[in-house]
Amino acid sequence: MRKPIIIANWKMNFLRDQANLYVKKLIKKLGNKENIEVGIASQDLFLTDLIKLTENTPISIVAQNAHLENFGPFTGETSPKALANVGVDYVMLGHFERRELFNETNSTVNLKVRTALNNGMDVIVDVEELEQVAPVLEGVSEEQMQQIIIGFEPTFAIGTGMSASTKGAEDVAEQIRKTVRKLYGSDVADSTRILYGGSVNRDNLKSLIKQKDIDGVLVGKAALDFQSFWELVEIIENSL
């Protein structure tokens, strides 16, 4: 059984107090619920605050990016080893905005994935299309696949208000699982979580989350307001 997961991708939004208040509200509402995993992808500056706040709660804290090396002359970058060191649960790699605005390629994303995994981090690796799955997983072992979640986020749907159709999203998620099966076998394919992201809202989530290959969602715009995000968490809960 793959545990459903919902991740709020805050992108570069909020100031410190707003970030802390949001997470305090989430802790209160979520209580000890263990049947759904809720993650917050924050900009780096707030990660340590959020890790402290969410200690002994089921909430996962996610970094939105990391560098491909652990140490060195890379001014302005964040080391994956440092993220692991402060207790970040997941690092998200290969987001569309990283590829589009910061020229990341499949090969950069792949190097980042491997370094993060070698630091023992769990990784959410984003792809915009099926063809990116094999290249970003190159060199990842069967054992390391247990630390990987795949996020499918089609370019046309990110931040546009135009989600993929439920069938369109499920078809690609199914193909992604087939690719993982081909590369790693059935056990790995059956346990790998695949997320959909791209203009998820309370109307489309109900059907998206019922799809057999969609194990959760990444949410941008609809997660910027706490109440709106919480409604999405409840929709997933009610679908269980």
**Is residue 218 within the footprint of ligand PEP (CB under 6 A)?**
yes
Q: Are strands 193-197 and 216-219 parallel, antiparallel or unpaired?
A: parallel
Q: How far apart, in whole angstroms, are the C-alpha atoms of residue 182 and residue 168?
A: 21
3-state helix, strand, coil in the chain (%, to 5): 50, 15, 35
Phi/psi of residue 135, each to 5°? Answer: -60, -40
**Is residue 110 within the footprint of ligand PEP (CB under 6 A)?**
no
Distances 49 to 20, 43, 119, 126, 198 between C-alpha atoms, Å: 7, 11, 21, 25, 28
**Is residue 159 within the footprint of ligand PEP (CB under 6 A)?**
yes
- Give the active site residue among 37, 67, 95, 97: 95
Cβ proximity to ligand PEP, 30 vs 92, nearer residue: 92
Active site residue 153: yes
Site string for ligand PEP, 189-208 (x = CB under 6 A): --------xxxx--------
Could you say which DSSP state residue 159 is in? T
Cβ proximity to ligand PEP, 61 vs 219, nearer residue: 219
Active site residue 138: no
Q: Which of residues 134-153 bind ligand PEP (CB under 6 A)?
A: 153
Q: How far apart, in whole angstroms, are the C-alpha atoms of residue 115 and residue 231?
A: 35
Q: Is the dihedral of CA 142, 143, 144, 150 positive or negative?
A: positive
**Is residue 209 within the footprint of ligand PEP (CB under 6 A)?**
no
Token pair in block for residue 41: 């992808």
**Is residue 221 within the footprint of ligand PEP (CB under 6 A)?**
yes
Cβ proximity to ligand PEP, 5 vs 82, nearer residue: 5
Catalytic residues: 95, 153
Residues in contact with ligand PEP by the rule CB under 6 A:
9, 153, 158-159, 197-200, 218-222
